[in-house]
Chain A
């Protein structure tokens, strides 16, 4: 018996929940065998261990699950109708729909990126799936069941914009609780060490003292939360990240509204991390805010020419910044 690794155990548990989308009879008959098969294939994929085959395995399992739950449900209802046995269709379908909702809202969710603050890593018009599980807030028994992680420095996170929780933002984590952060001539100095950030893009159109040498004094476009950060979390010309909060910056460093302007991201506002880009479409920021009629027409007309095919299935990755120089 091979020792079971943690993630496989977790995926098996998730799969066992997903099995509830199958009709009851089918599940009772084959559920255990299907879990065995799923686990065996997980082990097989884990041995292959390259990212592409893992992704292919995941999509394959998802497609298999989606098509066969629908077809098995249809068969169950079709045969029930022919047997003339009374059965509550509403309950049957309600369970299926509940499971679909669980899968699409708890595990992953689709987002579109309408602004260029992460340009260089994530482009305007990237449609991504976001993994909502990894950074989910652990309950009391949570850590034992699910693969929770804490965001690390260099991770890309999707979160609710603290000034307006109806919006979601995507940025890179620069500071964890306790870190001392400042910017000197566009370069981040974290805990006294200057960072070389391979993911950052500097395309400044004009110099800006506030943006490039942070923190100085609040200015006009510093939000109330930003002002609060200046008032309570700046010491000796450095921002100190409080507990249960993150300091985030955009990769397009000079064209990004980030923690410099609106303060820290509370840990509980973090939604997840980008999994991969499933569709990247070249469109304007305004068009990407919602599915307006003009946008739909635009997509129908230019789908093939303006889709950035080469970005399909790209993975926005965590990257570590190198620390150079001694204490400053």
Chain B
């Protein structure tokens, strides 16, 4: 965990929480906000456009997290600035219609960050399981 946090600092990632963009200074990186984390997961297997990301995030979370247009593109803007994702090209989605859509892909940095975040969450789950197994709750 400590080594990974080191990577975070070197990369100087400025992914800030969507709801508190001002209060968080840009160098704070971990934990990622839920929308950012799930957007990265959505882009882990393939390039997607905005609506595709939104649908995949809804699938991942069992419809618990629905991204509105403002939240989605606000996050993407900050993730682009931080170098977590990049734009590919504009092309139509064969399944939807003949309109051109902007596609996004995850960068290598993005991959590293989402791995690190997954590790962190896994550790948190272990801690939580241990605590709850103690019978306090």
| A61, A74, A75: the one within 8 Å of B68 (CB) | A61
26 CB contacts below 8 A, A to B, read A1-B98, A2-B97, A26-B73, A26-B74, A26-B77, A34-B50, A34-B70, A36-B51, A36-B99, A36-B101, A37-B69, A37-B72, A38-B69, A41-B51, A63-B68, A64-B70, A67-B19, A67-B70, A67-B71, A68-B70, A68-B74, A71-B19, A74-B22, A75-B21, A75-B22, A78-B22
| Chain A residues with CB under 8 A of B107 | none
Q: Bits for A57-74, please: 1 = Cβ < 8 Å to B, else 0.
A: 000110111011101101
Inter-chain contact B99/A41, CB cutoff 8 Å: no
List 20 extra interface pairs beyond A30-B76, A33-B73, A75-B22, CB under 8 A.
A2-B97, A26-B73, A33-B49, A33-B102, A34-B69, A34-B70, A34-B73, A36-B51, A36-B101, A37-B73, A40-B51, A41-B51, A41-B54, A60-B68, A61-B68, A65-B69, A65-B70, A71-B21, A74-B21, A78-B22
CA distance A35 to B102 in the complex (A): 13
Chain A contact residues, CB within 8 Å of chain B = 1-2, 22, 26, 29-30, 33-38, 40-41, 60-61, 63-65, 67-69, 71-72, 74-75, 78
| Chain A residues with CB under 8 A of B19 | 67, 71
- Asked whether B96 is an interface residue with its Cβ less than 8 Å from the other chain, the reply is yes
Say yes or no: A64-B68 contact (C-beta < 8 A), given A33-B50, A36-B99, A36-B101.
Answer: yes
- Asked whether B66 is an interface residue with its Cβ less than 8 Å from the other chain, the reply is yes
CA distance A45 to B76 in the complex (A): 24
Instruction: Specify the main secondary structure of chain B where it touches its partner.
Output: mixed
Say yes or no: A72-B96 contact (C-beta < 8 A), given A36-B50, A64-B68.
Answer: no
Tally chain B residues at the interface, Cβ within 8 Å: 25
CA distance A105 to B22 in the complex (A): 30
CA distance A30 to B87 in the complex (A): 12
CA distance A63 to B18 in the complex (A): 13
Give the distance to chain A from B48, nearest Cβ to Cβ, in Å: 12
Inter-chain contact A37/B97, CB cutoff 8 Å: no
Q: Bits for B97-118, please: 1 = Cβ < 8 Å to A, else 0.
A: 1110110000000000000000
| Chain A residues with CB under 8 A of B101 | 33, 36
